[in-house]
Amino acid sequence: MELTPNLVPLARLVGTWAGEGVGEYPTVASFPYHEEITFAFVGKPFLVYTQRTRSADGRPLHMETGYLRHTGDGHVEFVLALPTGQVELAEGTLRSDDDGLSLELDARVWSTSTAKDVSASKRTYRIVGDTLDTVLDMEAVGQPMARHLASRLVRQA
């Protein structure tokens, strides 16, 4: 299936990526994790995003799902739902050149009444070759913006 014209600049993202990461935050001890991300094209002018993490011993940790749109002129929008009671509405920039692709997104976050307070997040995705580096910074539970997750993923066959 051929990508819609607005998604051609995101073509390098399409597929499944997996690898290892490290989590940290001022309120938790650092921890290793395994991550798998898929960006899928379903014939519409957006990519479907799914993400899953597991602990070093294989226990499920986190998951999220959403939609990524390129609206033109390097502007991207990312809508995410998290089972922890948050919704992220992110916007940012897409940069692409011969060496790779990068997305930098700033999000407003809404939380349900029973969820931990997350005020904002910043996500970065960088592809060089068949490697995808991800970073998630967040402002949450009274803490200023700080690194929470960083992973290095490899494109899966």
Structural domain containing residue 103: 5-155
- 1-27 in b/e form (b: 16+ CB < 10 A) is eeeeeebebbebbebebbbebebebee
Helix/strand/coil percentages in the chain, nearest 5:
5, 70, 25
User: What single DSSP character describes residue 145?
Assistant: S
For 66-111, the pLDDT digits (tens) are: 999 999 999 999 999 999 999 999 999 999 988 899 999 999 999 9
Q: Is 135 exposed, middle or buried (0-12, 13-18, 19+ CB in 10 A)?
A: middle
Domain total of the chain: 1
Burial track 54-88 (b if 16+ CB lie within 10 A, e otherwise)? eeeeeeeeeebebebbbeeeeebebbbebeeebbb
- What per-residue confidence (pLDDT) applies to 136? 98
**Res. 1: pLDDT tops 90:** no
37: left (phi > 0), else alpha (psi -120 to 50), else beta?
A: beta
Q: Look up the CATH number of the domain holding residue 16.
A: 2.40.128.20
The tens digit of pLDDT for each residue in 108-139 reads: 999 999 999 999 999 999 999 999 999 999 99
Return the pLDDT at 147.
98
- Overall pTM > 0.85: yes
